[in-house]
Structure 1
Amino acid sequence: MDLVELLPRRLYLLAFPVGHAYLWCAPDGLTLIDTGMPGSAPRIAEAVTALGHTRHDLRQILLTHAHVDHIGAAADLAAWGDVVVAAHHDDAPVVRGEAANPPPVLAEWEQHLYDQIHADLPADPPPPARVDRELHDGDIITLGGGVEAVAVAVPGHTPGSVAFHLPDQRVLFTGDTIARAPDGTVMLGVFNTDPARAADSLRRQAALRPDIACFGHGTPLTDHTATTLATAASRH
């Protein structure tokens, strides 16, 4: 895992081989956006320590959606202390282990990629994690230090996919609704349960015009972000 600073002393990318996580640092605690694969908690703890914090500084976990590479370590991390776990209402049953994710609707070109990636993922579902707060579109989440995030419902990748928008800081966490390919191309995320709704969600996020876009897969966008997202949205 690589630790990359995106905003000085505030925002960090925790770059895993599959499924990135992000850490927001406030004077009164830490917020983690997504948790990586099962077994990722020790590496997240190392990153927290490297930044001069302890795991007891973790205040909340925000889950963008209920796929294994994003919720895999949520149960372990939630046990660190007084940690609030938040997920969208429609994905919360999957996080809790009460339901399964619906299957994706794959385009022909996606099938081989899907088979290839899922061959390397755990066969078993991730450990169930509690959800302390079920989110809905427009909910406000306090990150500390006067910073607020807005939950933006962006269904399509999963029914309960949710983005987190920090309007004052112009930061957007997209989960897997938007992705960035190795060649730098920004695109609609793949393996969507409802491709038409996913395209609508891409357009909704592009309209927010962030300065920084943090993706579940691919390098975050920090330059010409609004224009690049608008271009990606125009293709759908």
Structure 2
Amino acid sequence: MKLGPSLHRIGNHIIAAYLIDTPEGVTVIDAGLAGLWHDLLAELDTMGRTVADIKGVILTHGDSDHIGFAERLHRDHGVPVYVHSADASRAKGGPKPANAKQTMRFGATLGFFAYSLRKGGLRTTYLTDVVELHGGETLDLPGQPEIIALPGHSEGSIAIFAPVADAVFVGDGLTTRHVLTGTKGPQPAPFTDEPEQAVASLKALISTGATWVLPGHGDPWSGGIEAAIAAVEKAAAPAG
């Protein structure tokens, strides 16, 4: 799905990944689930591109529904995979903290798990080799993506700002559709390690001034980063 001249999405509002397309090649942001491989190839074809044009994969964090086809790209095509050092172990199949009990609605939760199964959620291939990030880098990849530390959802969560696309990719730093309840609009994401820290970390994104806010779950948001953060903060505020 083309969002703009340099910006494409694969997947859907349940689980999504993104492509930054420039004359220098393609940067992939997140890798969804293993079954999104076919979506990736189809989208590249519509762009007039091939896997050979992919210069790097940047993971917003190391959860299994974001690393999907990353190892395949690295193993079979030599594409480097970037992840924050604090999430490198998670991306390699290491332990992750247990989260608090989640609010769920049957239909939305069933849809999430059904889609995950259909797209290979039970055949995750963890990473074997990564390029570790620390936050603050501008990578020499198509779109010159800027790495912004965004701890909270996980210790090593990051956002990626791509000026060429006027977009900030937030992973699970926020969501625009809660996968367990179906609630729409910018809000805190479920399965978050440190919920209060995750909301506070979003302030680091204001300086990007990005129009597009692109989460790993939910529809793309084109209302600007400040409005998205304000909506998250409102949703996170205690009732009353």
> Normalized against structure 1, the TM-score is what?
0.84
Q: Tell me the residue number matched to 1:191.
A: 191
Greater mean alpha carbon deviation, residues 198-207 or residues 130-139: 198-207
Aligned to 1:103: 98
Instruction: Specify the code of the residue in structure 2 equivalent to 1:213.
Output: V
Matches within 5 A, 1:129-140: 129-140=127-138
Residue from 76, 83, 90 that aligns with 2:86: 90
The answer to whether the 8 A contact 1:68-1:125 is kept is no
Tell me the alpha carbon deviations over residues 158-179 of structure 1, each in whole angstroms, 9 at most, x when there is no partner.
1111110124653100001111
Q: Once structures 1 and 2 are overlaid, which stretch shifts more, 196-205 or 60-69?
A: 196-205
Deviations 1:179-199 (A, max 9, x none): 113665111222211112111
How many residue pairs are counted as aligned between the two chains?
A: 227
The correspondence of residues 1-236 of structure 1 with structure 2, limited to 5 A, is 4-8=1-5, 10-16=6-12, 18-97=14-93, 99-106=94-101, 109=103, 116=110, 119-120=113-114, 121=116, 124=122, 126-144=124-142, 147-167=143-163, 169-181=165-177, 184-222=184-222, 224-235=223-234, 236=236
Deviation at 1:89, TM superposition (A): 0.5
Query: Which structure's relative contact order is higher, taking Cα pairs within 8 Å and 6+ residues apart?
Result: 2
- Stretches of structure 2 that go unaligned for 5 or more consecutive residues are none
1:203-231 deviation line (CA, Å, top 9, x unaligned)? 33245331111111111112x31342242
Larger helix share, 1 or 2: 2
Q: Distance in 2 between matches of 1:117 and 1:153?
A: 31
Structure 1 residue 15: Cα displacement: 2.6
Cα distance in 1 between the residues matched to 2:232 and 2:51: 38
CA contact (8 A) 1:162 1:175 kept: yes
Counterparts of 1:56 and 1:86, CA distance in 2: 18
Please say if residues 26 and 143 of structure 1, whose CA atoms lie closer than 8 Å, have aligned partners that are also in contact.
no
Give the deviation of 1:233 after TM superposition: 4.5
Identity %, equivalent residues: 26
Letter in 2 for 1:225: G
Unmatched 5+ stretches in structure 1: none
Say if 1:55 and 1:167 are closer, same or farther in 2 by CA, change over 3 A: closer
Report the aligned-residue RMSD.
Answer: 2.6
CA 1:94–1:111 in 2, change beyond 3 Å: closer, same or farther?
A: farther
The alpha-carbon distance between structure 1 residues 87 and 176, as it changes in their structure 2 partners (threshold 3 A), is: same
Higher share of residues assigned strand: 1
